[in-house]
Structure 1
Amino acid sequence: MSRLIDEINKYKEAFKQKAPKEIQEMMLEATKKLENSSLSKNALTVGSTAKEIKLPNALGNEVSLFKTLEENDFAVVSFYRGTWCAYCNLELKALQERNEELKALGAKLIAVSPQSPDASLATKEKNELEFEVLSDNSNVIAKQYGLVFSLAEELRPIYLSFGINLPANNKEDSYEIPMPATYVINKNKEIIFSFIDEDYTKRCEPQDIIEVIKKAKNK
């Protein structure tokens, strides 16, 4: 089983080969600015109490984090940007590969993005996901977790040139998106693990999630 970081590095290399250098430089500069803002310092982290998540899934049915925790020992919540994000799709596929292991450990996976239920359904089908994919319209929940920022204006036409129309995907005019983030939350609603990074190309390795849960179960 390949590691997520290996798949990400393969994609990065392919992108470098095909994308114009000036576009790559603009994207890197925007990421550096976001990193310098230290936005992740404002996010919920280990030791914090998780905020309730009540959102529609890909079929429009409401899913509750707290109800999930009543029925499972742990919840793994992955905030992602949308089906248009290649790094997000790689991460979701990697999580799906370990989904049975997580379930065996008493953990339930939940993915959250600002995209519409229709787009969430496309994500679920595209990546053959067997866990809940929720729609956080206007990033209401992601804001409570301290993850939201506005996509740099200079990147908006670049994204459009890639065929990425955020207002259309999210069914609202804002260019706000969440930083990718992964949380492991225990039955007491306590965050026992968090991975948050301003650099959207950096993602949590599923093996790290599994090790955290195993350690928590053995306490």
Structure 2
Amino acid sequence: MFKTIAYTLCLLIGISINSQSNKGINFQKIDLEAAKKIAAKENKLIFIDLYTTWCGPCKLMAKNTFTDPRIGEAFNKNFINLAIDAEKEGVNLVKEFKIVNYPSFLFLDHTGKLVQYDFGYYNAEQFLGVGASVVSKVSPQTTKTIEQVKGKMVGDKINNFSAKDHLGNTFSSSKEKEKLIIVFIRGQWCPYCNKYIETLQNLSPELKSKNARLVIISPEKPEFIEKTINKTKTDYTVVYDEGYKIAEAFDVLYTPNNETLNFYNSRLKDEFTASRSDNSGRLPVSATFILNENKEITWRHFNPDYKERASVEDILKNL
């Protein structure tokens, strides 16, 4: 009877200890390549605790800091977490990042690119700050949902913006003396965007007589813009909105919900994650604006539904 009670108590204590440990960082038993794939799919960063078995501060971090529930909540939410022995499976990482201090902390994006490096002992409060600083480097300071973006209104004046096309040529709005038709697209992976750009070619013969120029704003890097041009055969200027600055200026930038992001990341993979300036998943509403010679908005088509676009007839009528 006594043995049964003692065994039960030991079992309960074990369960309790395990439950407490689960409140901290969830270090996954996977390699870096697998972590990259998960990070891309879940729109997260990668955190690597690079430790050695003889390192005292490494053991203290594992015992005191990584087990803290606040650390667990923050790091499990934002990172795919790996604990790697620097003298075993971490030898290549030590060479690649020239590690000489332990514990060392590598914060990587989903491609394996270093976002931030740190080392040494931190208590939970201090390490929360380290994690927050990493997240702030790659996440927008303010994010809006698609329901919150409203787009700039008729009568608003747009400050000068500039961006490069796929050939490295710079477009600057302040240098344009014509009216501007500004069209936002989501990227070359979007069939609705490609079809719409093809439709817009019908405007081309009319633009000169209307003293107007059409410019397409893409969140994608030049090599992906080149794909847009090849797919649509467009003659219009297509520029890379690096850092989403133009989309922010027109108030069309939003962050899709997690379900949508997961869908895009899983279905499109690098076509979505590697094409833009960060891994936040932000996109522009597929809006169209007409600016007069003074760069004031005289007409707009703003619909959060990416399937609904401004018609050629409406654009011509409002030039």
Q: Indicate the structure (1 or 2) with the bigger Cα radius of gyration.
A: 2
Out of 157, 182, 194, the position equivalent to 2:288 is: 182
Q: In structure 2, what is the Cα distance between the partners aligned to 1:100 and 1:64?
A: 23
Q: How many residues align?
A: 174
Match of 1:48 in 2: 156
**Match status 1:210 vs 2:316:** yes
Q: In structure 2, what is the Cα distance between the partners aligned to 1:58 and 1:100?
A: 24
Deviates more, 1:87-96 or 1:152-161: 152-161
Is this contact kept in 2: 1:58–1:124, CA < 8 A? Answer: no
Match of 1:63 in 2: 171
The aligned amino acid for 1:200 is Y
Q: In structure 2, what is the Cα distance between the partners aligned to 1:146 and 1:93?
A: 25
Out of 136, 140, 149, the position equivalent to 1:39 is: 149
Match of 2:183 in 1: 78
Shift of 1:85: 0.9
SS in 2 for 1:188: coil
**Match status 1:90 vs 2:192:** no
More helix per residue? 1
Larger relative contact order (C-alpha < 8 A, sep ≥ 6)?
1
Match of 1:132 in 2: 237
Name stretches of at least 5 consecutive residues in structure 2 with no aligned partner: 1-144
Match of 2:303 in 1: 197
Is this contact kept in 1: 2:158–2:249, CA < 8 A? Answer: no
Runs of 4+ in 1 over 4 A off after TM superposition: none
SS in 2 for 1:45: coil
TM-score, scaled relative to structure 1: 0.74
Q: In structure 1, what is the Cα distance between the partners aligned to 2:199 and 2:159?
A: 25
Shift of 1:49: 0.5
Name stretches of at least 5 consecutive residues in structure 1 with no aligned partner: 1-33, 214-219
Is this contact kept in 2: 1:81–1:114, CA < 8 A? Answer: yes
What is the RMSD computed on CA atoms of the aligned residues?
1.6
Shift of 1:38: 4.4
SS in 2 for 1:134: strand
